[in-house]
Every structure is written in C-alpha cells, then in structure tokens.
Amino acid sequence: MKVIIGNDHSGVEMKNELVKFITSLGFEVCNVGTDDTKSVDYPVFAKKVCSKVLENKDALAVAICGTGIGISIACNKVKGIRAGLCHESFSAMMTRKHNNANVLCLGARVTGIELAKDIVKTFLNTEFEGGRHQRRIDMLED
Ligand code: RB5
C-alpha cells in the first residue's frame, strides 16, 4: 500500500522520522510535504496530500502541521477525504475502524516522535469495519 505524507514547515523533522519509520514497516512512501523549515501555508500541503489520496484509491496518508488542527480542517474540506486528528493510538485505531479515515493528522508541536510512530503504525495496520459505519460514511459523502 502507498502511504502519502505531507507537512508544513513545522512538521519537517517529524515527517523525516516518519518517512524512515513507515518505510521500515514495508510501505511505499510518497512525500508531498515541504522539506524546508521556511514558513509555508498548511492548506497548500493539505491539498497536495488529498489530491494524491484521491488519485490512489487504496492509499492512506499522514498530514502534519504544528498542532495538526489547521491541516485537519483543510483536509476535511476535500470531498472524499476523511481526516482524523489523533494524539494517541486508540483514536488512530477507531478512526480507521469506524470512520474509514484516509488521512491521519498529527501535531508536530504536540506529539512526541515515539508516540507519533505508534499512532502511525496503528493507523496503517487497522482495517475499516464496514457495516453500520459505511451507512454513516455514505451520509457524510452526501
Ligand atoms: C504554523 O506556525 C502553524 O500555525 C501551523 O503549523 C498549524 O499548527 C496550524 O494549525
């Protein structure tokens, strides 16, 4: 499975660590984030992440900004994207199982790197449960 990763300036260091980590888990990683710590605008990178996810039907993504809030707001404005902002692994598991989230948002200034790795691993390795949750997702899409 392809994993898209994108970030603004605040997320460069976390992104670099997560690219290594996600690769070590055996996934192909596609980096659409900035690699520069010069200030940029997170909506631009949210759009890049979401476009790639929509191009690759089975892909999952990780989107990073300082708090994770701005980039999650931006991602959730794109039709077909379900972005979950997670600060711990239980939410990462549930946002896959119940929300079929295709984007995991992280706050680089909020979450430490070891916890972020666990959140990412949980997100990537958890399947959507379908059933009644699909009906709710259909409602979101409508
Ligand atoms: C950038 O300074 C910061 O505002 C951004 O990364 C993010 O936290 C916004 O929600």
Atom from ligand 1 closest to the CA of residue 107: 8
Q: Is 65 a catalytic residue?
A: yes
87 included as an active-site residue: no
pLDDT at position 12, please?
A: 98
Separation of alpha carbons 36 and 133, rounded Å: 39
Residue 78's pLDDT is what? 98
Contact 72, 42 (CB under 8 A): no
**Residue 24: strand pairing partners:** none
Res 57: pLDDT? 85
Rg of the chain, C-alpha, whole Å: 14
Of the candidates 30, 50, 65, 86, the residue annotated as catalytic is 65
Per the structure block, which two tokens stand in for 89?
């692994």
SS3 call for 64 = strand
Does any ligand 1 atom lie closer than 6 A to the CB of residue 65?
yes
Q: Output the pLDDT for position 59.
A: 97
Nearest CA to ligand 1 atom 1: 66
> What residues are paired with 53 via a beta bridge?
none
Mean pLDDT by 10 residues, the chain (142 residues): 98 98 98 98 98 95 99 98 98 98 98 99 98 97 92
pLDDT, residue 10, reads 98
